[in-house]
Amino acid sequence: MNKVKVGNFMIGEGEPLTLLAGPCVLEGMDRCLLIGRTIKEICGRLGINYVFKASFDKANRSSYHSFRGPGLKKGLEMLQEIKETLDVPIVTDIHETTQAEPVAKVADILQIPAFLCRQTDLLHAAAQTGRVVNVKKGQFLAPEDMRNVVDKLHECGCEQMLLTERGASFGYHNLVVDMRSLPIMRSLGYPVVFDGTHSVQLPGGNGTTSSGNREYVEYLVRAAAGAGIDALFLEVHDNPEEALSDGANMVYLDKLEGLLTDALAIHKIVHRQA
């Protein structure tokens, strides 16, 4: 397996579990720093590598009127401040080819949203930055079809990539996770990530907003750890009811350490780590 270097640590076989986590979208700076600082402290206690996650723009909200975030310029300024203040790597998503270069100046990982995972030009632009590229498997794709994504990135000279499972469409307003997808994608030669919070999302479940079933996150996370993952992706908030995006499927900040403790124990067994 190809290992991926992020900041001063590696992701991949034989390496500690990595967590990509934070609020869905950039909210106030104080709140983002509170969430990020707390997660970093938890990860430090557990021996988990940490990458701060938040979006500067949620370009695929259900409603035109939904909060999207501070935008590219202000969002990158916020992410840079978070990166410097907390001394952690950053992951954030891009939706357009023109965003790749400026975002790469701040973010350590460029994330390709699931809906856009087949967009050749977007993958090419992300790959050309030299940053790690995390591609979320589309809700419409079989896991083995991610080989085409890997091949596209290879064609652009990218060898630093992560592949993320975030559930597959199952009828209307529902997602399911086939845990076979994790070893299948891992067999493509790159570390795999499990997105435990978007996997319990109910897309468009509230009409003009998505809903979710956060009560199932812990079960899916434990199952994914048992299937074999290299990293975990979670959207986390100190008060999800106040979150400006994806509140219904976000993990409560004060519940995170217990969830990670379980996932880490299973991860160590699966990967035979002490």
Q: What is the DSSP letter of 173?
A: S
- Angle formed by the axes of helices 256-270 and 217-227, nearest 10°: 20
Instruction: State pLDDT tens for residues 92-146.
Output: 999 999 999 999 999 999 999 999 999 999 999 999 999 999 999 999 999 999 9
- Is the per-residue pLDDT at 9 higher than 70? yes
Q: Exposed/middle/buried for 96, CB within 10 Å: 0-12, 13-18, 19+?
A: middle
Instruction: State pLDDT tens for residues 203-224.
Output: 876 665 678 899 999 999 999 9
Percentage, residues of the chain above pLDDT 90:
85
Average pLDDT of the residues of the chain: 94
Q: Report how far Cα 197 is from the mean position of its chain's Cα atoms.
A: 9
Average pLDDT of span 13-20: 97
Instruction: State pLDDT tens for residues 22-38.
Output: 999 999 999 999 999 99
Give the β-pairing of 211-212 and 201-202: antiparallel
| Band of pLDDT at residue 173, cut at 50, 70 and 90 | confident
Short-list 193, 200, 191, CA closest to 168:
200
For 207, the token pair is 């009409």
| Band of pLDDT at residue 64, cut at 50, 70 and 90 | confident
According to the model, what pLDDT value does residue 181 have? 98
According to the model, what pLDDT value does residue 258 have? 98
According to the model, what pLDDT value does residue 69 have? 87
SS3 category, 47: coil
Domains in the chain, ordered, with CATH?
Answer: 4-270 (3.20.20.70)
Question: Measured between alpha carbons, how far is 261 from 29 in angstroms, rounded to an integer?
Answer: 28
Q: What is the DSSP letter of 254?
A: G
According to the model, what pLDDT value does residue 3 have? 97
CB 23 within 8 A of CB 11: no
According to the model, what pLDDT value does residue 18 have? 98
According to the model, what pLDDT value does residue 162 have? 98
How many helices (H) does the chain have, and how many strands (E)?
A: 8, 15
Question: Measured between alpha carbons, how far is 160 from 190 in angstroms, rounded to an integer?
Answer: 8
CB 161 within 8 A of CB 153: yes
For 74, the token pair is 């202000």
The residue ranking higher by pLDDT, 55 or 63, is: 55
How many angstroms separate the Cα of 184 from the Cα of each of 1, 4, 139, 221? 13, 18, 16, 17
